[in-house]
Structure 1
Amino acid sequence: MTELSISRANRNTFQQTFIGLEYEATNDQPADLFSRACVEQYRDFSPHQFGYLFAQVFESEVLQEVALLEGVAFEELDSLRYQPTATIKNLAELVESSADLDVVQLVNLSAALISISRFGMAERLLVQAAAARTPLEAFETAMLEFVVSNRRDDGAASQRAFGRMRAAIETGAIPPDRVMDACAQGVVWFLKRRELSEADFDWFVATGTVLAEKPGLVEPAALSSWYRGIAMIPAAKGEVAATRRYMEHARDAARDTITKRPRAYEMHLMKTYHESSLKEHMYLTRDQDRAEESGRALIAIDPAWSPSYGELAEAYVRFGLIGQAAELFETAVRIGPPYVGHHLLQAARCRERAGDDELALAHYLSLVDAAEPSEDVISAALALARRLSHPARARLAAALDGHATTGSVTGREG
């Protein structure tokens, strides 16, 4: 096993996309589904029509990690002053001239920024969009305000945003697909983090349930997200059969969507289904074989996506397969961001649990050398270095004494 490093890692398509909203794939470095969907959406969207699609939204820490790997100051990346591609230069020019944009254009431009985690700039544009006059404009602005708050400040402003979405929906002017999107988000983020009131949660559950029961009213893509969200309710109660029934509805709706539009965005719905199924079998059914089956399906649908290897690795850890987990975390590190620091930390911990102290220490040292790591990482590395009488123990002790708490690269979203 060769030593791994997160310092100036291979520039995979995710890193390229987060930096420049374009990528160049190769046989050795194929494009992951997120990057394909993100780049395609920016290339194809209509600025004068609502409907900018997100495959996935990442938190600011991911952009910080990408800045580290790229060797660029975070502020340069976050502000779009760093412009390595014509696409990102175009995006920066649109932001610069945003005073001339109407609400629809501002919302779409904000969505493009959110897709690559430029939340501060998106938030400023959404303030400009506060002049929203129609229910649809108010709804779409509030939806993005929720997304920004959810990823930037743990949902501090989410309750207000959900209240505004509900008010817009109650006018009857919001398309059913968008209503269902809001219902799905309301269910998920109430159960995860109570980001909306219980009264609004109940309302979104009831509204989504009625929409789902009307054949043909809602597009399968929105239905798939809804069923994955609503499955969390019986899952929280330990109701295996009901959870699986909703999950099968989610899978079938995703398949219907892919049949109609086999783009990267629609393929991402099936990937998300497998992610949810993996967690279902990790925490609810506790079925190791089915968890592994879901994890392998997750990797197969998008083998260039490092988090999928980390997801299956976490299942292996839960079922006590520490050596196999370590190998998967290490594979995730080799593929690169997002979450390369988190994956390397987990690989180090697994190697240490498996008694492979030399390799565990090598992983910890890679983390220590990459940036300002957390105190826990330095302490773990120092303990191993002392146990092995490794020459690094002196500098690790010094690093622990002068530890600074900023710049950790080992975090990931919950």
Structure 2
Amino acid sequence: MPSSAWEGTFLMTAYQSVEFNRNAFHTTLLGLEYTESGKQPADIFSRSCVESFQDSDWTRFGYRFTQVFEDAVLQETAVLEGVPCDDLARLRHRPTQAMRRLGDAVDNRTDLSFVERLNLASALTSVTRLDLADTVLNEATQLARSNRERFEAAWLAFILANRREGGASSAAAFATMRDAIGSGDVPTGRALDACTQAVVWYLKRKDVTEDDFTWSVKVGNALAGRAEMHDASTVSAWYRGLAMLPAARGMPDKTRSYMESAWAAAEKSVKRSPQAYELNLIKTYYESSLKEHTYVTKDFDAAVAAGQALIDLDPAWSISYGELAEVHLRFGHLRQAAELYDRAVASGPPYVGHHLLQAATCWEKADTPQAALTRYEHLAALVPKNAEVLTRGLDCARRLSHPSLGAFTRALERLDGVRTTP
């Protein structure tokens, strides 16, 4: 995922004049619908996202989403489509029947019950309308009366806080969930979901308190045994999250033990219901395994095997190529990494800008300046006021005595003039 401010800037302006792969992810984020073409199925995220919206019973808790993206991904979608981002974010742009249905629900949300409003906020979250989801959720939270209702509202507030505000209000949301769990009114699987989130986000960036983290490990382990017979998907997520603890401590055997438990639970879930949501458990297992072998066991062959399994399972997902590229980059295989980042770009959204930048950087480091220059020229056309892109492009052009040397030089001079103007 993008890791710097200027990569985020790229996502806001990328591909304005360039052909791109209008893949299922793009059309799903745009309109909650997609059309499969050729023999390759749509990516698992898009399939699950659309299935959840089509099949969910909005009068019951439990709206399913597999992954929540940050606002920059919606900005990328808007630019690629040539639509003002605010029109997407506020749901003024409704190009499909599904999006019109979602928009009508937003327009008439005062007629909805608490649980229906919560499901509406969840559906908005699934397609990265995060500000609008937060608005709907805040209104719904005022209607919460039972411990279960307060838990579900706090659960979604926790998810949104991760993506919108760097987790600033995550601790408060988790405290509400913990109180509700203590009442005994929250189902085992949902309580385990909350414990998983606490463990993951404490280990990532300490979004919850140490006391809540310790409590979640203890309670989550107890709940996992009770949930195993009925909530295999929840159990799989729990063990993937728990594996982060020994991984952070450099304990490969314990990490693998938890990962094997995650795999077993994922397989059980897929056997019961081989739908996209359940397949995503296998996908996330491979994603976690790739990181396990890259950073914990440092086993290159095992990491590559996990990455290839990820691509084989979900070949339309651009991020998978980027993650396998990261493995090669970590182990010093620059050319292979560059080629995989190029494949990620060719696969389309999400993160086209990030993948293009990484491809350019890897080609440059692999001492292939012409390939790097081509990509920097592309980036420079898209983000003409980005000094780092221009400087990198200038360096490549200078090495090659390429005609673009003058263009990069003038672009930097103009940028310096703007920056030094009183």
TM-score category of the 2 structures, normalised to the smaller one: over 0.9
What secondary structure is seen at the aligned counterpart in 2 of 1:337? Answer: coil
Partner of 1:68: 79
Shift of 1:103: 1.1
**1:8-407 paired onto structure 2 within 5 Å:** 8-27=19-38, 30-130=41-141, 131-214=143-226, 216=228, 218-371=230-383, 374-401=386-413, 403=415
Name whichever of 320-329 and 32-41 sits farther off: 320-329
Distance 2:39 2:410 in 1: 40
AA paired with 1:74? C
Gaps of 5+ in 1: 405-414
Show CA shifts across 1:21-79 (max 9, x none): 00011006631110000000000011110110111111111111111111111111111
AA paired with 1:355? D
Distance 2:22 2:405 in 1: 32
Distance 2:46 2:283 in 1: 14
What secondary structure is seen at the aligned counterpart in 2 of 1:113? Answer: helix
Shift of 1:401: 4.7
Show CA shifts across 1:136-158 (max 9, x none): 11111111111111001111111
Partner of 1:408: none
Question: Alignment length, in residue pairs?
Answer: 401
Q: Percent identical across equivalent pairs?
A: 48
Partner of 1:411: none
Shift of 1:366: 1.4
The normalised TM-score by structure 1 is 0.93
Whether the 8 Å contact between 1:8 and 1:70 is mirrored in structure 2 is no
Partner of 1:407: none
What secondary structure is seen at the aligned counterpart in 1 of 2:34? Answer: coil
AA paired with 1:279? K
Partner of 2:9: none
Whether the 8 Å contact between 1:212 and 1:218 is mirrored in structure 2 is no
Distance 2:89 2:330 in 1: 36
Partner of 1:410: none
Show CA shifts across 1:336-391 (max 9, x none): 00111111111111111111111101111212223467432222112212322333
Distance 1:120 1:399 in 2: 36
Show CA shifts across 1:234-277 (max 9, x none): 11111111000000000010000000000001000000000000
Shift of 1:169: 0.6
Partner of 2:10: none
CA-atom RMSD, angstroms?
A: 1.7
Shift of 1:5: 9.8
Name whichever of 71-80 and 238-247 sits farther off: 71-80
What secondary structure is seen at the aligned counterpart in 1 of 2:226? Answer: coil
Gaps of 5+ in 2: 1-14, 417-422
AA paired with 1:213? G
